[in-house]
Amino acid sequence: MLLTPRAALPVLLLCVALGCARETTTATMTAAPLAPDVHSFARPAEARVTHVALELQADFTAHRLGGRATLTFVRRPDVRQLVLDTRGLEIRQVQDERQQPLTFRLEPPVEHLGQALVIALPASGDRVVVEYRTSPEAAALQWLTPAQTAGRIHPYLYSQGEAILTRTWIPTQDSPAIRQTYEASITVPRPLSVVMSAEMTTPNGTDAGNGLRAYKFKMDQPVPPYLIAIAAGDIAFKSLGPRTGVYTEPTMIERSAHELEDLEKMVAAAETLGGPYRWGRYDVLVLPPSFPFGGMENPRLTFATPTILAGDKSLVSLLAHELAHSWSGNLVTNATWGDFWLNEGFTTYFENRIMEALYGKDRALMLASLGRNELMREMADLPPADTKLSLDLKGRDPDIGMNAVAYEKGAALVRTIEQAVGRDRFDPWLRGYFNRHAFTSITTQEFVADLQQELIRGDTSLRDALNLPAWLDQPGLPPNAAPVQSPAFAPVEGEARRFAQGATASSLVVSGWTPQQWQHLLEQLRTVTLTPAQLRDLDATFRLSASGNSEILFAWLRVAVARQYAPAVPALERFLTAQGRRKFLRPLYEDLMQTPWGQPIARRVYAAARSSYHAVSTQTIDTIVK
Ligand code: BES
Ligand code: ZN
C-alpha cells in the first residue's frame, strides 16, 4: 500500500462502508453515503479512487502532458466497473496492475462534464493504469510562450483545477467528495522546474536523460481532485519564514517576497482561529499575469495572480483568503458544487478575521464593507433562485455559483452566527467544526446538523433568531444579517457626493486615505453621471489611470467605461491586455459591450488579447464579446 497511516484511515473506514474484503482495524464507524454529485460520472458507492500516481512528461512544443495515471481504488466485491471523469483526454490503453489490458470505453460527451471513462475490472485487484495524453486545448492547462512570461526566455505551464477542470488533465473521479492522496513524477526539459500542490521529494529534480529533468511529489493527505495542481517554468524560490516562502519567475522574486513579507505571521494568526495548520509548508506561487483568478488555494502552494503586487501590501487580503482555505475548503470541503458557499463563505469570513488580527479592526471592516456592497450590487442582477446559498446546479456549469452570493452572503451568515452567540462561544465551535470534519467533504445539511448539535443545542430562541432556512433556501439577504458598516467609509461617501455636485478633485479631503477608501470612492462614483471635464480632473489630480493598485485601477476604469470616457481607453486597453484575471475582465468587457461606443473597443482589444488568456477566462469572455 502506498498510503501512509493517516491517509489510509479514511480508506479503511470506507472499506467498512463498502464491505470490501480487507483488513479493517476500526470497525466501529461507518462512512455516510456520499451526496450525489451532478458534476461527476463516478459511482463512488460502487468503486472509488483513493490514490492517484502520475508519471507525466510535459511537451512544450505539442502542448501536451502525456504518460500514465495509476489509480488505486476500493470497491464493493460484486462491482466490475470503474467509472472515471475525463474531458478531451486521449486514452491509449488501460491495464491492470499485472499489465494485462483492460477493456474500456469513453461514453458520449455531456455538456460541461466531458466523458465518462468506463473501465471493465477483473474479479480481483485494486489498481488500474491509464495511459493517456491531454489535448492541447485542455481547459485546466495554459501553455505560455516565452513572450507571455516575465522572463521572456522560457515557456511556462500551469493548471487550474477548480471546479471541474482536473478531468481535462487527469483521468480520475473528479468530484470534491472523492478525496484522493496523490504522488507524481513530472518530466520537463531543463532548465525548467516543476512545483505542485504537494511535498516535493526531489527538491532540485533528478536527471532524466535527453536534456530532461524529473521532479517528484507526494501528497499524503487525501484531497479533492480539484486541488491537484502543477506549474512548470523558470521558477525561483525565496524563503519568507520557517514554513513559508514564495515561488515565482526570477525577475519577479524580490517584488513578490516584499509584498508577501507578512505571510508567516498570517499563518500564525490563522492557526489561532482555525487550529493547527495541517499541511506542513505554506508557500505561494506568483504566476504569470494570465492566471484567471486572484488566487487558488492549492494545498501547500497557493497560486496567486501578480496583480496583487501593489508594492504596499495593500492587496494581501487575497492571501489571507487563500490561506484560510487551508481550513475551510481544503480540510473541510464542499461535498458538491451546490454547497460551494461552505468553501467560500466560511473562507471569506475567516479571511476577514485574519485581516483583523494582523492589521486591525478598521481595515477588516473596510474590506467586509466592500464585500457587502458588492453582494448587494450583484444580487440585484441575479435571478432570485441563484441568490440562495444552497444551489441546484443540475445541468449547469458549477461556475454559475462563483459569485458574491457564495462568498459574501455565505460570510454574512457565518458573521451572523458569530454575533448571535459571541466570539467566546463561536470561536471554539468553529475550531471544533474544522476538527470534526477534517479531511472530509460535507454538504450544507451536515453543516446544519453540526451547528444544531454543537452550537444551538436545543436553544430554540437562538435557532429562531438565526433562521437558517431563510439563508439557505430563500433568495436575498435575510433581515437578520449582521450589519457591516465601516466608519472610515462615511467621509468617503461625503466626498463622493461633493465631487458629484461639482467640487473640484483637488478640493476633496483625501489625505491619509487607504487603498480601500479609494476603491470605495470609485465604486460610489460609478453610478454618478460625471462629465468628461470632471473625469479629466479626477484622473489628472489622482493619477488613477497610472495606479499600481489593480483594484483601484479596475474601479476607475469601470467609472470611465460607464461614462464612455475616451482618454482612459489606452489605460483600459493596457489593463485588459496585461493581465487575464476574469474578475477584472468580465465586468469591463460586459460594460463595453453594452454601448455602440464600447463594442468596437471590446472587439478590438479581445481580438488582440484573447490568445494570452487562460481557457477559464476565454470561455466566459467568448460569450460576452462574440
Ligand atoms: N477557490 C477560489 C477560486 C475559484 C473558485 C476557482 C471557483 C474556480 C472555481 C479562490 O479561493 C478565490 O475565491 N479566489 C478569489 C479571490 C478571493 C480573495 C475572493 C479570486 O480569484 O478572485
Ligand atoms: Zn476562495
**For 14, how many CA atoms within 13 A lie in the half-sphere containing its CB?**
23
pLDDT tens figures, 480-493:
999 999 999 999 99
Does residue 321 form part of some domain? no
Residue 226: active-site member: no
Q: 462 and 584, same structural domain?
A: no
Q: Is 297 annotated as a binding residue?
A: yes
> How long, in residues, is the chain?
626
Q: Is 583 annotated as a binding residue?
A: yes
Q: 200 and 53, same structural domain?
A: yes
Does residue 265 form part of some domain? no
> Ligand 1 centre from 292 Cα, in Å?
9
The pocket around ligand 1, CB under 6 angstroms, is made up of: 162-163, 293-297, 318, 321-322, 325, 344, 402, 407, 583
CATH code where residue 415 lies:
1.10.390.10
Last residue of a domain, one of 423, 443, 473: 473
Does residue 292 form part of some domain? no
Name the pLDDT band for 33 (thresholds 50, 70, 90).
low
> Ligand 1 centre from 210 Cα, in Å?
39
Question: Which residue has the CA at smallest separation from atom 18 of ligand 1?
Answer: 318
Does residue 227 form part of some domain? yes
Task: Please report which residue ranges of 360-510 form alpha helices under DSSP H.
Answer: 361-381, 404, 410-421, 423-436, 444-451, 460-466, 468-473, 489-500
Does residue 275 form part of some domain? no
How far is it, in rounded angstroms, from Cα 37 to Cα 337?
8
The single-letter DSSP state of residue 387 is: G
pLDDT given at position 4? 34
Q: Is 294 annotated as a binding residue?
A: yes
Question: Which residue has the CA at smallest separation from atom 16 of ligand 1?
Answer: 294
Looking at per-residue confidence, does 343 or 29 come out higher?
343
Category of 110 on φ-ψ map: left (φ > 0), alpha (ψ -120 to 50) or beta: beta
Question: Which residue has the CA at smallest separation from atom 17 of ligand 1?
Answer: 318
Q: 61 and 204, same structural domain?
A: yes
Q: Are 290 and 614 in contact (CB under 8 A)?
A: yes
Q: What angle do CA 129, 131, 137 make, to 5 degrees?
A: 135
Quote the percentage of the chain above a pLDDT of 70. Answer: 95
Q: 604 and 547, same structural domain?
A: yes
Separation of CA 12 from chain center: 30
Q: 149 and 49, same structural domain?
A: yes
Question: What is the average pLDDT value for the chain, to the nearest integer?
Answer: 95
Name the pLDDT band for 460 (thresholds 50, 70, 90).
very high
> Ligand 2 centre from 272 Cα, in Å?
20
What is the number of the ligand 1 atom nearest to the C-alpha of 163? 9
What is the number of the ligand 1 atom nearest to the C-alpha of 294? 21
Q: 30 and 176, same structural domain?
A: yes
The residue assigned the cell 460610489 is 524
Q: 43: domain range?
A: 11-234
Distances (CA, A) of 142 to 137, 195, 214, 256, 549: 8, 15, 20, 22, 25
pLDDT tens figures, 235-247:
999 999 999 999 9
Does residue 139 form part of some domain? yes
The residue assigned the cell 458629484 is 500
CATH code where residue 147 lies:
2.60.40.1730
Q: 545 and 421, same structural domain?
A: no
pLDDT at 26 over 60: no
Name the pLDDT band for 1 (thresholds 50, 70, 90).
very low
pLDDT given at position 25? 29
Does residue 43 form part of some domain? yes
Q: 112 and 73, same structural domain?
A: yes
Q: 144 and 56, same structural domain?
A: yes
pLDDT given at position 19? 36
Q: Is 325 annotated as a binding residue?
A: yes
What's the structural domain count of the chain?
A: 3
Looking at per-residue confidence, does 177 or 19 come out higher?
177
> Ligand 1 centre from 45 Cα, in Å?
30
Last residue of a domain, one of 420, 444, 473: 473
Q: 447 and 564, same structural domain?
A: no
Q: 506 and 399, same structural domain?
A: no
Task: Please report which residue ranges of 457-530 form alpha helices under DSSP H.
Answer: 460-466, 468-473, 489-500, 515-525
- Ligand 1 pocket test: pick from 284, 302, 321, 334 the residue with the most ligand atoms within 8 Å of its Cβ: 321
What is the number of the ligand 1 atom nearest to the C-alpha of 407? 19
pLDDT tens figures, 39-70:
999 999 999 999 999 999 999 999 999 999 99
Q: 532 and 467, same structural domain?
A: no
> Ligand 1 centre from 138 Cα, in Å?
20
Residue 199: active-site member: no
Does residue 572 form part of some domain? yes
Q: Which of 132, 158, 407, 589 is catalytic?
A: 407
pLDDT at 7 over 90: no
CATH code where residue 559 lies:
1.25.40.320
Name the pLDDT band for 626 (thresholds 50, 70, 90).
confident
Q: Is 291 annotated as a binding residue?
A: no
pLDDT at 565 over 70: yes
What is the number of the ligand 1 atom nearest to the C-alpha of 293? 21
pLDDT tens figures, 146-167:
999 999 999 999 999 999 999 9
